[in-house]
Amino acid sequence: MIIGFNIGNTHTVLGLYDTSNPLPVFMYRYPTKRDATVQELSDTIANAIKEYSIDAGDIQGAIYSSVVPQCNNAYDAACKKLFSISTHRITHLSRMPIMIEYDNPAQLGVDRIVNAVAAYIDYKIDCIIVDIGTAITFCLLENGVLKGGVIAPGVKAAMNGLAQSTAQLFEVPFEKPASIIAQNTKDALISGFFYGWISLIEGIIQKMSGTQAHYSVICTGGMAEVLHPYLSIPVNIDTKLTMRGLYYLYDINR
């Protein structure tokens, strides 16, 4: 089996794969801890694979995508400790079936690369990939070229930031309000965040598309399914896009 990690700013998703299937047969989600020791991380990974009732010796390959550089060395060491194998750390220098147009590819988040690889292989279309997580990223993939995109603040990060930096405002749930016009502070915050982020996503997609109506939209990330029912533009929801991208990049780089 193959083990893959999508290491995000808030959460990490571990996936276990059969060697011939890009869809993970098992996934395990846990908080990303920047200062985790090798032992702590090894214990977390070991407990996860035990839930799938396999032994460490069944893991023959490992790969990870990380936007948290502080974690990288611990993952390298933990996989060596648990599985006695070297782990492929995805970078802009990894072999991939797409090209990258970016001023400094080393600064491009590898999660965006992984998403673009999966979209290119699975959809074979020009598209805008929207990953709705701690940050919201928009990537334009055209003719097999990742042409860059947009990074916007994520919903929960902005909600937390506003509550922490203002004396009279507070955190609220992310949900559709009864009316866009609110008569109290709580509902005003709910309305602002809900319609603000719906408008942000739709607006950036429309700006990126311009007159090129042929772009399809693929949405992934932790908040994709929450927001999807309220978007007025057609989108493909693909919550396992990144996890399939990990498998494809492992297969290409092994």
Catalytic residue among 103, 111, 122, 251: 111
**Dihedral angle sign, alpha carbons of residues 89, 91, 94, 97:** positive
Give the residue from 125, 88, 121, 108 showing the smallest Cα distance to 214.
125
Both structure tokens of 169: 């405002």
With both helix axes pointing from N to C terminus, report the angle between 185-209 and 155-165 in degrees, rounded to the nearest 10. Answer: 140
The DSSP H or E segment spanning 44 is helix 38-51
58 given a catalytic annotation: no
Q: Is 4 helix (H, G, I), strand (E, B) or coil?
A: strand
Q: Do 64 and 89 touch, CB atoms closer than 8 A? A: yes
Give the residue from 105, 104, 109 showing the smallest Cα distance to 136.
109
**Dihedral angle sign, alpha carbons of residues 69, 99, 249, 11:** positive
Q: Give the residue numbers marked as catalytic.
A: 111
